[in-house]
Structure 1
Amino acid sequence: MRASSQVLRFADWTSPVPPVAREVLSAVPEPAGDQPPVLFVPGLGHGAWAFAEHWLGHTAARGFAAYSVSPRADGSLRAYVHDVVQVAASLPRQAVLLGHGAGALVVAHALARYPARAAVLASPVPEGWSALGAALRTNPFGTLPALFGAAPRLSRRQLFGAGQAAAAAHHARLVPTPARVYRQVLFATPPAAPVGDPPVLVVGSPDDRVVPRKALDRTAARHGGAPLLFPGMAHDLMLDESWPEPIDAILDWLTKELAA
């Protein structure tokens, strides 16, 4: 009963999130197996396409149905969480939630409302004042305008590795994030405890120019572990030229957790 009671909260009744047509991309193995589906949640500026490039198909090839949901065009952090919960609840099996960047924050909040089979926080952005401090250190010229109403900007150098062949094409696909959503992410309240105490894995890179190494350590420690690190990779792990390494490690971990 606890899990179902978390899907809708008081604010959802008094000020419901407006319905939208959600973009959900998928890759499903043939034949379908017994593994739980994996729902990928992109961060700010990214869409479902960021996982469809490599990780969706690779996940399906490993026997897991894979789905990715794009953030709604004109939403809020609460709306993003709502969408993830609703999409996860619509899947045929209890899902694994995997969020990247600010999408990891969305997943962390969704875990308080949806009883996920497991969760993965990839390159998770810091929370609270530490998020603002990290953003100002790593991206002052992109962060300061957002504090005064302009859209934030993330540089290609921050997101992608030096010399990455497809970096320009990927960067061109990013969409502006409303400044209010960016501020909501920077000043988000800590997420409540996950429903059902699912296993949570934190992955990232010590060379990330968006998320400091200490932030990865703090996030992993909050979930009772240490981060799984991939040196030399940039923030956008799923679009890096070494993209198979983290997703294979994630799926290996998930397979082990499911067998436990």
Structure 2
Amino acid sequence: MLSVIRTREWAFPVPPARREVLRATPEADLGKPPVLFVPGFGHAAWVFAEHWLEHTADRGFPAYAMSLRGHGASAPAPKADLRAYAHDVAQVAASLPRRAVIVGHGAGALAAAHALARYPAKAGVLVAPVFGGPSTALRNPLICLPALFGGRLRLSANQLFSRELPSSQGRTYAKRLGRASRKAQWQLLAGRNPEDPVGDPPVLVVGSPDDRIVHDSAVRKVARRYGGAPLLFPGMGHDLMLDARWREPIDAILDWLEKA
């Protein structure tokens, strides 16, 4: 397997951490690549286990969902940074039996993009990608302002889901959210573009023009960076994998993977 050596990684290695990884396997091995789902800040593996994990396995793809350090059932990591999150993604992907497809959501898409510069993925999928920078803070001042002073990025059900999802279900999901480390939040708001993917894998960008967290123009900008146009699902919220019409984006992603 191709390896990318970086001096900083050797001189200042990322501390090891226990990582939560959930999985669902198809009934028969069809030779399809494993799909690794990476949740965004405050989210954990459960957001994919709710719908997308089993659905992906039913489509014949071995499916895995991880929690970044400090999230879900992974080890606590109050001082983790984006480099540590990207390291987690690359390490979990490298542990899978075949070259994986990395699917990152939200700020997890930024961690996935950094991991794609280190791990030769079969393909990459960036869902509702939050690549940070000043535009993120300006679009969501009430969410981002507390993070500038060490608080958590606060996300409500109204910001995450469409009106099609029952409000009680949306509130239940929102209450399960945790937080990323302070340093990682600061780095997200500062904005640092990832390097180009190693091995030039195909990259698909997915989003919604009605996303209240990331503007449609930001999604299109990320798609242009990877040489394509985004696949958009009007009427859906930021957390496409939990929203009422969750089947539409994951089926479109898997259809694309079968042709990529």
Q: CA deviation at 1:21?
A: 1.2
Residue aligning to 1:142: 143
User: How does 1:66-105 map onto structure 2 within 5 Å?
Assistant: 66-73=63-70, 74=77, 75-105=80-110
User: How does 1:18-37 map onto structure 2 within 5 Å?
Assistant: 18-37=15-34
2:155–2:174 CA contact under 8 A, matched in 1? no
Q: CA deviation at 1:18?
A: 1.2
Counterpart selection for 1:195 from 195, 198, 221: 198
| Residue aligned with 2:241, SS | helix
Counterpart selection for 1:213 from 213, 216, 223: 216
Normalising by structure 2, report the TM-score.
0.93
The percentage of counterpart residues that share the same residue type is: 61
Q: CA deviation at 1:212?
A: 0.4
In structure 1, stretches of 5+ residues that fail to align are none
Counterpart selection for 1:40 from 34, 37, 40: 37
Q: CA deviation at 1:145?
A: 1.6
Match for 1:24: what amino acid?
V
Residue aligning to 2:74: none
2:39–2:105 CA contact under 8 A, matched in 1? yes
CA–CA distance in structure 2, aligned partners of residues 109 and 174 of structure 1: 23
User: How does 1:1-260 map onto structure 2 within 5 Å?
Assistant: 3-4=2-3, 6=4, 8-73=5-70, 74=77, 75-128=80-133, 132-137=134-139, 139-162=140-163, 164-165=165-166, 166-257=169-260
In structure 2, stretches of 5+ residues that fail to align are 71-76
How many pairs does the alignment contain? Answer: 250
Q: CA deviation at 1:127?
A: 3.8
Q: CA deviation at 1:189?
A: 1.9
Match for 1:30: what amino acid?
E
Match for 1:215: what amino acid?
A
1:36–1:64 CA contact under 8 A, matched in 2? yes
Q: CA RMSD in A?
A: 1.3
CA–CA distance in structure 2, aligned partners of residues 226 and 88 of structure 1: 26
Residue by residue over 1:69-112, the C-alpha shift from the partner in whole angstroms, topping out at 9 and shown as x without a partner, is: 10111222111100111111110100000000001111111111
Q: CA deviation at 1:163?
A: 5.2
CA–CA distance in structure 2, aligned partners of residues 22 and 173 of structure 1: 18
Residue aligning to 2:73: none
CA–CA distance in structure 2, aligned partners of residues 102 and 142 of structure 1: 14
Match for 1:38: what amino acid?
V
Match for 2:130: what amino acid?
V
CA–CA distance in structure 2, aligned partners of residues 71 and 185 of structure 1: 15
2:211–2:238 CA contact under 8 A, matched in 1? yes
Q: CA deviation at 1:174?
A: 0.2
